[in-house]
């Protein structure tokens, strides 16, 4: 039977042309021609203060933890329903994570729980724009100002999506994107740090390039470059940047098709949710949708398992995520008081993601929705 995978990375010949060009430029290490072109693209299009390509969003988050001088004893507030990296980058620096719950009808974090988790040791709030749909950033930035905290946006899924007209990643002090092949635009593995608070720019240049002042050396500000700070090798090869640049040229086309697919799913499921116990996505007035991810939430884990199996038999690969971080094996072994976060747990048990990629055809979408409808008809007949 014709297989519908969960994801199929977008590729065109443009990327190959740029990769070949990068190859011939004889500068294939980091911070080359295409790296700068990508960074300028984002700085121009979204008015981000300063962008640094990284080898992953995980790396960009690690740069944030270093820039914010996170150390043992510092507390960081973030949602539990997110990818491991959101927490790991800060845990590696010794931070204690205070996980908060998702909203009852939306996987994004519940802003109303932030304030009660703030203590004298809290340093950062990390927000995650789930499915590229914005958190209520005005509320979050106000809390941060009131308590003198930093805000990092994990906008891994949030490319070209907006909050009240502002691009995601460009609102907090720092922001992070992912260009992993599962994201809307990608270069296999890749990411980007966005520095919105200018006071971090000079240090970010150093942390990015192994703790050296190489950037100042190239601007002729110092006559030799040397070890001046902490850091790591966060730069991707210019070959990856060339691939990413090719994708950027296709950004509008990719986004349009993804949003179109998302809307088709939404139509089908609006109907189905009238007859069956299916919770469908909601998009708040202040947020846009970039078609990153289409999810539904089922009534219980048993139904989810049966639906996944059913779809698998029809050669449709639907998947689920995330296992709540607060109940993960690692976190449980590190802390004594594990919070109770029922909404996050429910999503871990009952959420399912449907195939969503550029090449997915209208017929395939129809087949997926038809199969799911069929499943629920059979379920209701017992
Ligand atoms: C994909 C993702 C990451 C990790 O991105 P990498 O580029 O693979 O490091 C982090 N946070 C969220 C919310 C993600 O979706």
C-alpha of residue 295 to centroid of ligand 1, in Å = 17
Q: Mean pLDDT for the chain?
A: 97
- 247 Cβ partners below 8 Å, 6+ apart? 10, 15, 179, 185, 186, 187, 254
Q: Is the CB of 54 under 6 A from ligand 1?
A: no
Q: For 212-255, what is each residue's pLDDT tens digit?
A: 999 998 888 899 999 999 999 999 999 999 999 999 999 999 99
C-alpha of residue 84 to centroid of ligand 1, in Å = 8
C-alpha of residue 56 to centroid of ligand 1, in Å = 8
Place 34 in a pLDDT band, splitting at 50, 70 and 90.
Answer: very high
Question: From the alpha carbon of 60, which atom of ligand 1 is closest?
Answer: 9
* pLDDT at position 254: 98
Place 166 in a pLDDT band, splitting at 50, 70 and 90.
Answer: very high
Question: Which residues are bridge partners to 209 per DSSP?
Answer: 233
Terminal CA-CA length for the chain: 27
What is d(CA 270, CA 363) in angstroms, rounded to the nearest whole number? 18
Q: Is the CB of 101 under 6 A from ligand 1?
A: no
Place 1 in a pLDDT band, splitting at 50, 70 and 90.
Answer: confident
Which tokens go with 363?
A: 């017929």
Place 357 in a pLDDT band, splitting at 50, 70 and 90.
Answer: very high
Q: Is the CB of 57 under 6 A from ligand 1?
A: yes
Q: For 172-181, what is each residue's pLDDT tens digit?
A: 999 999 999 9
What is d(CA 205, CA 80) in angstroms, rounded to the nearest whole number? 31
Q: Whose CA is nearest to atom 2 of ligand 1?
A: 156
Question: From the alpha carbon of 182, which atom of ligand 1 is closest?
Answer: 1
Q: Which of 195, 178, 291, 298 is nearest to 240 (CA)?
A: 178
Pocket of ligand 1, candidates 54, 130, 155, 156: which has the most ligand atoms within 8 Å of its Cβ, to mutate? 156
* pLDDT at position 382: 72
Torsion angle, CA of 22/28/32/36, rounded to 10 degrees?
A: 60
Pocket of ligand 1, candidates 7, 85, 290, 293: which has the most ligand atoms within 8 Å of its Cβ, to mutate? 85
What is the tally of helices (H) and strands (E) in the chain? Answer: 13, 13
Mean pLDDT of 262-286: 97
Q: Is the CB of 55 under 6 A from ligand 1?
A: no
Question: From the alpha carbon of 130, which atom of ligand 1 is closest?
Answer: 13
Q: For 88-126, what is each residue's pLDDT tens digit?
A: 999 999 999 999 999 999 999 999 999 999 999 999 999
Place 80 in a pLDDT band, splitting at 50, 70 and 90.
Answer: very high
Question: From the alpha carbon of 59, which atom of ligand 1 is closest?
Answer: 9
- 380 Cβ partners below 8 Å, 6+ apart? 276
Backbone angles phi, psi at 122, to 5 degrees: -65, 135
Q: Is the CB of 293 under 6 A from ligand 1?
A: no
Which tokens go with 242?
A: 């060339």
Query: Poorest-confidence range of 38-42, 220-224, 288-292?
Result: 220-224
Q: Is the CB of 85 under 6 A from ligand 1?
A: yes
CB 48 within 8 A of CB 169: yes
**Host H or E run for residue 37:** helix 33-45
CB atoms within 10 A of CB 283: 14
DSSP string, 187-210: -SS-EEEEE-SGGGHHHHHHHHBT
CB 66 within 8 A of CB 204: no
Pocket of ligand 1, candidates 57, 130, 133: which has the most ligand atoms within 8 Å of its Cβ, to mutate? 57
CB 344 within 8 A of CB 326: yes
Question: From the alpha carbon of 128, which atom of ligand 1 is closest?
Answer: 13
Pocket of ligand 1, candidates 58, 169, 174, 295: which has the most ligand atoms within 8 Å of its Cβ, to mutate? 58
């Amino acid at each position: 039977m014709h297989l519908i995978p969960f994801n199929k990375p977008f590729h065109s010949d443009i990327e190959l042309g740029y990769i070949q060009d990068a190859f011939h430029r004889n500068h294939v290490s980091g911070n080359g021609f295409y790296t700068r072109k990508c960074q300028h693209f984002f700085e121009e299009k979204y008015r981000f203060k300063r962008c640094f390509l990284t080898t992953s969003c995980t790396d960009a988050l690690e740069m944030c933890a270093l820039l914010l001088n996170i150390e043992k004893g510092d507390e960081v507030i973030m949602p539990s329903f997110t990818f491991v990296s959101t927490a790991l980058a800060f845990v590696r620096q010794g931070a204690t994570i205070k996980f908060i719950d998702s909203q009852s009808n939306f996987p994004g974090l519940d802003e109303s729980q932030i304030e009660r988790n703030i203590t004298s040791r809290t340093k950062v709030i990390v927000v995650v724009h789930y499915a590229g749909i914005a958190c209520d950033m005005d509320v979050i930035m106000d809390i941060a100002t009131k308590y003198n905290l930093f805000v990092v946006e994990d906008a891994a899924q949030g490319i070209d999506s907006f909050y009240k007209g502002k691009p995601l990643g460009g609102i907090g002090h720092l922001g992070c994107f992912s260009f992993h092949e599962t994201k809307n635009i990608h270069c296999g593995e890749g990411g980007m740090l966005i520095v919105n608070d200018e006071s971090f720019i000079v240090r970010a240049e150093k942390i990015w390039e192994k703790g050296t002042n190489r950037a100042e050396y190239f601007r002729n500000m110092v006559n030799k470059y040397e070890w001046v700070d902490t850091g790591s090798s966060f730069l991707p090869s210019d070959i990856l940047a060339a691939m990413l640049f090719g994708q950027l040229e296709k950004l509008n086309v990719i986004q349009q098709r993804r949003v179109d697919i998302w809307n088709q799913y939404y139509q089908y499921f609006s109907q189905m949710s009238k007859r069956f116990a299916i919770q469908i996505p909601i998009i708040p007035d202040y947020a846009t949708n970039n078609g990153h991810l289409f999810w539904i939430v089922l009534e219980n884990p048993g139904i989810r398992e049966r639906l996944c199996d059913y779809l698998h038999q029809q050669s449709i690969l639907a998947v689920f995520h995330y296992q709540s971080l607060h109940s993960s094996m690692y976190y449980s072994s590190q802390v004594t008081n594990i919070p109770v976060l029922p909404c996050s747990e429910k999503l871990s048990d009952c959420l399912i993601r449907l195939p969503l990629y550029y090449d997915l055809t209208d017929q395939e979408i129809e087949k997926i929705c038809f199969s799911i409808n069929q499943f629920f008809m059979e379920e209701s007949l017992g």
